Amino acid sequence: MTDEIARPRPRPDAVSEGFWNAVGQGVLAIQRCTQCGNYQHPPRPVCCGCGGGELSYERVSGDATLVSWTTTHHNVVPAMAGALPFTCLVVELAEQRGLYMMSDLIGRTSLAGALRLGMPMRVVFPEPEADNPRLPQFAPAPEAVR
């Protein structure tokens, strides 16, 4: 990552604060309904599974499967011009079918050529640089890169 890249800073609110607090500690914690057990991301004020309002944040394994990716070559966000080209990923977390997160490979472009559909992924928490926030990202699991 270069000093020219200024990632947007998260703005935690009452609903997403638990997620961002965990991320700040290098932990992936996903919102889960205490009534039906449904995980959901991004965080919401009520459960998408049962409509319940009893939600908490639960640490998850960080294991995922790569379901999609794209490489951006055209700049649409001025602060991100120094990152071009960059690869955005969509992963499905191991804890529940249909539980997706987005990530990118900014600062880790050498990984882009190794990507393949269905590839096992692991969450990583690169140390933030300069004034950039710490964000969960995904990389190929060690056993996937041979």
29-86 tens-digit pLDDT: 999 999 999 999 999 999 999 999 999 999 999 999 999 999 888 888 777 788 888 8
Residues 118, 50 share a domain: no
- Whether residues 46 and 74 share a domain: the answer is no
Do 66 and 129 sit in the same domain of this protein? yes
Enter the tokens of residue 29.
């914690």
Tokens of 16: 């997403």
Q: Which domain holds residue 16?
A: 12-60
Interval 87-107: pLDDT, tens: 899 999 999 999 999 998 876
Higher pLDDT among residues 43 and 127, named by residue: 43
- Considering the domain architecture, whether residues 46 and 65 belong to the same structural domain is answered as no
pLDDT exceeds 80 at position 7: no
- Please report the pLDDT score of residue 146 as a whole number: 59
DSSP string for 49-109 = TT----EEEEE---EEEEEEEEEE-S--SGGGGGG-SEEEEEEEETTSTT-EEEEE-TT-G
The verdict on 53 and 78 lying in the same domain is no
Sequential DSSP letters for 8-27: PPP---TTTHHHHHHHHTT-
pTM: 0.88
Query: Tokens at residue 50, please?
Result: 């049962």
pLDDT of residue 2: 45
Q: Is residue 6 part of a domain?
A: no
In total, how many domains does the chain have?
2
- Which DSSP symbol is given to 126? P
In a domain, residue 7? The reply is: no
